[in-house]
Structure 1
Amino acid sequence: MTGVLHAGAVEQVRRLVTEVPGPRSRELAARRAATVSAGVGTTLPVFVERAGGGVVVDVDGNSLIDLGSGIAVVSVGNAAPRVVEAVQQQVAAFTHTCFMVTPYEGYVAVCEALAELTPGTHAKKSALFNSGSEAVENAVKIARHATGRQAVVVFDHAYHGRTNLTMALTAKSMPYKHRFGPFAGEVYRVPMSYPFRDGLSGAEAAARALTQVEVQVGAGNTAAVLVEPVQGEGGFVVPAPGFLRALADWCAAHGVVFIADEIQTGFCRTGDWFACDAEGVVPDLVTTAKGMAGGLPLAAVTGRAEIMDAVHPGGLGGTYGGNPVACAAAVGAIETMRAEDLSGAARRIEAVMLPRLQALAARYPQVGDVRGRGAMLALELVQPGGVEPDPVLAGAIARACHAQGVIVLTAGSYGNVLRFLPPLVIGEDLLTEALDVLDAAFATLLS
């Protein structure tokens, strides 16, 4: 596996020429502090000058290995040639008309691609939006309208966004919900399949969750069950096999809309086009964003045509939803995924990374669980001998990696998960070097 280094792309090396962050980044951080809300957080305060392939270059000239992809967004790279060319052509033609006023072909082309690529062979339609939160919120609107019901079932450890409704759908309080209420009603939370912590089979975990729905909500009152096929911010929790299938079957039996939030898992990230594909689960509605458009803001709800058409004309939309430049980027990104077999690339990334992560678990009892799929992998860190979360260690290892020029992210309801989301075009040499840095961080902190 080698990264695709296109003409004009940044050199694919890790290089530290200053401390991280360097002096120029610190100057910009001071300007940021004076004018940007403190409520906007930063994982690593280096200011980016250029990026591509598997590296990010900061304003001090440091070249960092990227294991975050802007939170699973730049799967095709930060400046993929097909994306750049499509965007340049579209910007030169027009940047906006509003699809609800005067439509354009790019929006239709994206919806055609979504109909082809998302799970299932049934007739599908889509509506385009700007962000994952908007997509989830509109999926709930569509499900409620189509069923005439109001209740929405979500899961422990879920993350679905930062708008008022999606904060209600999200499980974790700090930082997402703390002091932002009151939240939208008719949202009901049930236990997620979390094999490391519950030890249940998929069927057992589903029975536990669905019994709670039937007792506390009622199937006849439930508009939708909303689930991430692999949880993202919740800590890359992979449900036990059969859990998703049982949820989908229950929804079909009771006229409930089954919504798969594939915003972080979609578009080749897990080694399939969508994470639901691994078990052959076909959702009624799928929400997408992040990796779809190569870094430009675009999101979608895609689903069964009869459900999507249930909403009255004018009930869905937004001024910028399906912006023509973002649609052009999505067409270029999807072409890249196809041409470069990025689903296969994700599987090859897993083949490189997973054995190294498992070796860490074998050496250090602080690694309680290694999990994930494709290029969406994680370590859950705990106190040795149990499952007590260790967020302090997770933060320390992340900072040690940052100081050595490797971007890693943390996650999890307890803040104790190291998550890895490399661009799907990263080279194996960079992956290996990043894992060496991770190994050294563990050795330094735990020796």
Structure 2
Amino acid sequence: MRYLPKSDSERREMLDVIGLRSQEDLVSYLPSEVRFNGRLRLENGKSEYEIIDYFKHLADENANGYATFLGAGVYNHYRPVLVDTVVSRGEFLTSYTPYQAEISQGTLTSIFEFQTMVCQLTGMEVANASMYDGSSAVPEAAMMAVRITRRDKILIARSVHPEYGQVLHTYTQHQGIPVEEIKYSNNGRVDLDDLKSKLSEGVAAIIVQTPNFFGILEQLDEISSLAKSKGALLIVVFTEAVALGLIEPPRQADIVAGELQSFAISPSYGGPYAGIIATHEKYMRQLPGRLVGETTDAHGGRAFCLTLATREQHIRREKATSNICTNQALLALMATVFMTIYGKQGLRELAEQNLSKAHYLAARLPLRFDAPFFNEFVARTNGRSPEQINAALLEHKIIGGLPLGRFYPELDGCMLLCATEMSRRETMDTVAQAFKGGRA
């Protein structure tokens, strides 16, 4: 909102119009016991130069110049300058909510392109216009599976992001939907024997993540076959979207739910981000959130509209597929611009950089699991605590990995590390030295 200062003469004129003698008269009706009669401890006003200098000194306290090896669902990737150039345009960066959505053809076009790119990325046939984030997309996908199968039990791999699992429990605990965890095996993948023992014809969905929370690629073919044998749906989750530039799309899935933060969305203290749900056309009517479709206008030209809007704002609450009543259009636009800039080949090259750098670092550290991984992996700290190693790295302006004991007591003494295209070889050598117990 613009600030328009008033002169003393303008204030006097306004008081005269309403019949008051002073500004004090505006609050004279307030009891004295609730009025502040002291003097506010405010500094005198500053000039423009002084204000800029003040905030510059505050900004200098930020953690600029730190290298980071912390992933765990939020990844440090390069953000092309063009992304902010596009999304900062007034047509997109606005507080206006297009309640008459079809008037905003530019916005609908960008969302339609987003949906198309997500389908190409995931190997699915239809995608929604985005969700709040990956952690809300996963339980929404689970609720979708419950509606489709008319069953009420969910199996979720223990190697799915633990906080995604916590949000799922928040959704299910008061709906009478039991959620059971599937163990991970010694190589960090889903324990197929444990899955077989827990899978029954009452299971609505199996939720697995690839790359999983440990960075490991799951065996989707085997898991999909087991799900189909009992009529359960397979929900495949991802947190690191860059991996989809290199690995096969999860076509074995019935529903794909994920997070697009890696696509030019700043880590930014944990949000806001952009989640997605994609699925097959036969399940389209059970998709939560918005869906933009292609149509024709009155002149027969190509146009876009909101379609199958089965949200509680549009239809009866008890018939709605979700009570989420918005989406992340601006963040989805960031991801769309990112995918457009890189293209298929560029995204593949980016993924290859991540793979190469992570494996360079992993080759110098003691690993906990031996299964194939993308750009994250679990390393043993061998006698030193993860916190000690991270403290040593901070002295060199390096943010270390995630101590896994926080989520997995059995992995106390292990650390989850991530390397991206932003990781420098000399910095990775410093991390390796810290693990050896020498001076980082």
Deviation at 1:143, TM superposition (A): 0.6
Q: 1:435 to 1:132 in 2, by over 3 A?
A: same
CA distance in 2, matches of 1:155, 1:168: 17
1:186 to 171, 178, 183: 178
Q: Compared with structure 1, are the counterparts of its residues 195 and 93 closer, same or farther at alpha carbon in structure 2 (3 Å cutoff)?
A: closer
Distance 1:355 1:395, change over 3 A: same
Instruction: Identify the residue that residue 291 of structure 1 maps to in structure 2.
Output: 262
Shift of 1:136: 0.7
**CA deviation after TM superposition for structure 1 residue 72, in Å:** 3.2
* Partner of residue 111, structure 1: 115
1:420 to 417, 425, 436: 417
The 5 Å alignment of 1:311-322 reads 313-314=310-311, 315-316=320-321, 321-322=326-327
Aligned amino acid, residue 108 of structure 1: F
Asked which structure has the greater RCO (Cα within 8 Å, sep 6+), the reply is 1
Q: Which residue of 2 aligns with 1:260?
A: 236
Among 222, 225, 248, the alignment partner of 1:249 is 225
Map 1:40-51 → 2, pairs under 5 A: none
Match of 2:204 in 1: 223
2:236 is the alignment partner of 1:236:
no
Alignment of 1:336-355 (within 5 A): 336-338=341-343, 341-355=346-360
Match of 1:326 among 326, 331, 334: 331
For this pair of structures, how many residues does the alignment match? 341
The gaps in structure 2 that reach 5 residues or longer are 1-54, 267-271, 288-307, 312-319
Tell me if structure 2 keeps the 8 A contact 1:372–1:378.
no
Change in 2 beyond 3 A, CA 1:81/1:324: same
Per-residue CA shift, 1:178-225, capped at 9, x if unaligned?
Answer: xxx8897411222224416x9xxx8xx42x1233124xxx22x11100
Corresponding residue for 1:213? 198
Which residue matches 1:87? 87
SS of the residue aligned with 2:118? helix
Q: What's 2:374 paired with?
A: 374
Aligned-residue offset at 1:320: 6.3
Kept after mapping to 2: 8 A contact 1:156/1:191: yes
TM-score w.r.t. the length of structure 2 is 0.66
The secondary structure found in structure 2 opposite 1:225 is strand
1: distance between equivalents of 2:222 and 2:72? 33
Cα deviation, residue 299, structure 1 = 0.8
Residue 89 (structure 1) shift = 1.5
Correspondence for 2:145 among 143, 146, 149: 143
Contact 1:153 1:224 in 2 (8 A): yes
In 2, Cα distance between equivalents of 1:307 and 1:378: 36
Q: Residues 73-93 of structure 1, C-alpha deviation per residue, up to 9 Å, x if partnerless?
A: 443x2x422321221125666
Aligned partners of 1:293 and 1:319: how far apart in 2?
24
Q: How far, CA to CA, are the matches of 2:71 and 2:115 in structure 1? A: 24
Cα pair distance change 1:244/1:146, threshold 3 Å: same
What residue in structure 1 maps to residue 424 of structure 2? 431
Query: Cα offset for 1:351?
Result: 2.5
Separation in 2, partners of 1:165, 1:261: 14
Shift of 1:381: 3.6
Task: Please say if residues 378 and 417 of structure 2, whose CA atoms lie closer than 8 Å, have aligned partners that are also in contact.
Answer: yes
**Larger deviation, residues 347-356 vs 294-303:** 347-356
- Would the alpha carbon gap of residues 306 and 407 (structure 1) be closer, same or farther in structure 2, given more than 3 Å must change? same
How far does residue 337 in structure 1 lie from its aligned partner after superposition? 3.6
Structure 1, gaps ≥5 residues long: 1-47, 50-56, 171-180, 362-366, 384-391
* CA separation of 1:254 and 1:329: change in aligned 2, threshold 3 A: same
Q: Check conservation: 2:127, 2:276, Cα contact below 8 A.
A: no
Q: How far did residue 352 of structure 1 move?
A: 3.7
AA of the residue aligned to 1:286? V
Computing the radius of gyration from Cα coordinates, the structure with the larger value is 2
Q: CA deviation at 1:127?
A: 4.8
Instruction: Provide the C-alpha distance between the structure 2 equivalents of 1:68 and 1:303, rounded to a whole number of angstroms.
Output: 30
Contact 2:71 2:376 survives alignment (8 Å): no
> How far apart are 1:115 and its partner, in Å?
1.4
**d(CA) in 2 for partners of 1:337 and 1:68?**
24
**Which secondary structure does the structure 2 equivalent of 1:115 belong to?**
helix
- SS class of match (1:444): coil
Following TM superposition, by how much is the alpha carbon of 1:328 offset from its aligned partner in structure 2, in angstroms? 1.8
2:279 aligns to what? 303
Go from structure 1 to structure 2 and tell me whether the alpha carbon gap of 1:211 and 1:288 turns closer, same or farther (over 3 Å shift).
closer
In the TM superposition, what whole-angstrom CA distance separates every residue of 1:287-338 from its partner, at most 9, and x where no partner exists?
A: 1213245235211111112123246822245666333322221211222342
Q: Which amino acid aligns with 1:273?
A: G
**TM-score, normalising length: structure 1:** 0.65
